[in-house]
Amino acid sequence: MSAYQREVEIAQHAVTSAAVLCQNVRQGDDFAALAKSDNSPVTVADFGSQAIVCRAIRQAFPDDLIIAEENADALRSDDQAELRGRVVAEVQRVLPGADETQTLAWIDAGVSRDAAPRVWTLDPIDGTKGFLRGGQYAVALGLLINGQVEVAALACPALDDDGAIFWAVRGAGAFQHTPEGDKAIAVTPTANSAEAALCESVESGHSDHDQSAQIAKTLEIARPSVRMDSQAKYAAVARGDADIYLRLPTRAGYEEKIWDHAAGYLVITEAGGKVTDIEGKPLDFSLGSTLKNNRGVVATNGKLHDTVIAAIVAAS
């Protein structure tokens, strides 16, 4: 891990600080959400979280590019002055002294969409709808070197009683940070699909629930599917709470965003699992902001992977 020790330290601290901001917002009585062009929600916490993480990356690694989900364009509109003020106020609770100009600039540090030899990818709140409804969400950060995910930090503030922080380095394993220190995590040894636990997205717009049910039937899975938001599903498989995570395409032509998968992908892979698309192809993170060479995502404990892919093919 020594080659990326500083990156791990910065990434862990960044997602932890962002999670504090998100929980501060969540404990309030007004999330102040607005709708983006695709009708998905974005909140004070999305913007604030991105500002916190991008600032940390910019200060530590000023030459690195950042591909993050949000930008500050909407906040600069005159009719969003109240929302802009809320974002700045929440950032100031974590970073006293931060001002409006700095906050907007930190958010916009993540507007890159191009591949680069060294680039971070960030989802400041993965699972915004889960965040809004009181379900699972995550702050997900990954470092790509020449298109390969090398470092991941994943904060899941609603997982467990006090939240959970996961991190991984390629070739060095996956870990959950605990008060007693970092604990290595590992996928389950389940080899019989009938004994497997399957998790999928809560939102039917993110994954085809009907096809998932058909696949579960083919695999003879007896347990009801566990539905949760965000890359917390990746964490669940990585530490053995579940065996399979399916994200099945819901519409033709959709390209998965790298910020929705990079961190979780490495955490599961380093915990001994396997992540591919629905055809069994490796995920290609080298093409900028999307997984344009892939369709959907399948994550498993590894032992079940070929069986799951075969079931998906049979259901297609």
Question: Can you tell me the distance from the alpha carbon of 163 to that of 226, in angstroms, rounded to the nearest whole number?
Answer: 19
Sheet holding 226-227, edge to edge: 226-227, 198-200, 244-247, 297-300, 274-276
81-94 and 5-26 helices, crossing angle to 10° = 130
- Known binder of ligand: residue 268? no
Q: Does the active-site annotation cover 128?
A: yes
- Known binder of ligand: residue 69? yes
Residue 74's CB is within 10 A of a number of other CB atoms, namely 17
Residue 301's CB is within 10 A of a number of other CB atoms, namely 26
SS3 156: strand
Question: Can you tell me the distance from the alpha carbon of 157 to that of 131, in angstroms, rounded to the nearest whole number?
Answer: 10
Catalytic residue among 43, 46, 190, 290: 46
AA letter at 167: W
Question: Can you tell me the distance from the alpha carbon of 159 to that of 170, in angstroms, rounded to the nearest whole number?
Answer: 24
> Structure tokens of 40?
């998905």
Q: Does the active-site annotation cover 307?
A: no
Q: State the DSSP code for 250.
A: -
Catalytic residue among 43, 121, 128, 188: 128
Beta strands in 202-315 (DSSP E): 226-227, 244-247, 274-276, 297-300
CA atoms within 13 A on the CB side of 277: 18
- Known binder of ligand: residue 123? yes
Residue stretches of the annotated binding site for Mg(2+): 69, 123, 125-126, 260
Binding residues: 69, 123, 125-126, 260
Active-site positions?
A: 46, 128
